[in-house]
Amino acid sequence: MKKIIAIIITVLLLISVSVVRAEILPALELERNSSFYGGTGNNYTHGWEFSVSEDLAVVGLGIFDLEEGLYTPGFMVPHDIGVWHLGELIYSATIPAGTEGVLIDQFRYVDIDPLWLTEGETYIIGAVLNGDPVVGDSLTRITMIPSVIYERTLISPSDSGFSLPTEERMYYLLGPNFLVIPEPMTLVMFGIGGLLLRSC
């Protein structure tokens, strides 16, 4: 009997892992085969403010990786990236230099322990892009998932490195992105948060 129960649990876990993995989504996507290059990042923290219309689990943080023309895959230097809520840094990570991060739709990600975003709340994601290209383009070429609402572009008030971006910019200068899973309770039930990105 115990063996039968163990088999049933294993099958359910495998099915659930497949379902959850299929739901991993980039918060935003860029139109392919377009000119995205907007200059080389500096020591400011570039970011954008967004709100969420449902509870989400962030399972990966990433930065745009330009692989067109003269640019080679990967990053020249490591980049700090983080998420803020109500002015406080609630999660941070480092995107390594080179190609160690996982490339998904023109962004290179590292996986993180699940970061829960709450329906109706507003957040800021930002990254220092020093030395690597950033995206400069109009919002008409950006696709957001329905549960993430882009609010505005932000930049840190000085070039002192990784810090909360608070100054609004009229133009769109993109670098950071994140991977989410809708309905994060599914993730909690099966305890597989840190494995999702590595298994993609």
Question: How large is the average pLDDT for residues 38-49?
Answer: 78
**CATH number for the domain harbouring residue 170:** 2.60.120.820
pLDDT at 54: 94
Q: Identify the CA nearest to 178 among candidates 121, 119, 101, 120.
A: 101
Q: Identify the CA nearest to 132 among candidates 46, 60, 28.
A: 46
Count of structural domains within the chain? 1
Domain that holds residue 165: 2-199
Contacts of 75 (CB under 8 A, 6+ apart): 63, 65, 95, 96, 97, 98, 101, 108, 131, 132
Contacts of 117 (CB under 8 A, 6+ apart): 52, 55, 56, 57, 58, 123, 180
Q: Identify the CA nearest to 66 among candidates 58, 57, 75.
A: 75
> What is the CA angle 10-191-54, rounded to 5?
120
pLDDT band of 73, cuts 50, 70, 90:
confident
Instruction: Answer whether residue 175 shows pLDDT above 60.
Output: yes
Contacts of 27 (CB under 8 A, 6+ apart): 50, 144, 145, 148, 177, 178, 179, 180
3-state secondary structure of 113: strand
Contact predicate 128/43, CB 8 Å: yes
> What is the CA angle 121-127-132, rounded to 5?
150
Mean pLDDT of the chain: 77
* Helices (H), ranges, the chain: 2-22, 185-190
pLDDT band of 76, cuts 50, 70, 90:
confident
pLDDT in tens, 118-130: 999 999 999 998 8
Q: What tokens were used for 162?
A: 């990784």
pLDDT band of 7, cuts 50, 70, 90:
very low
Q: Identify the CA nearest to 87 among candidates 45, 136, 123.
A: 123
Instruction: Answer whether residue 36 shows pLDDT above 60.
Output: no
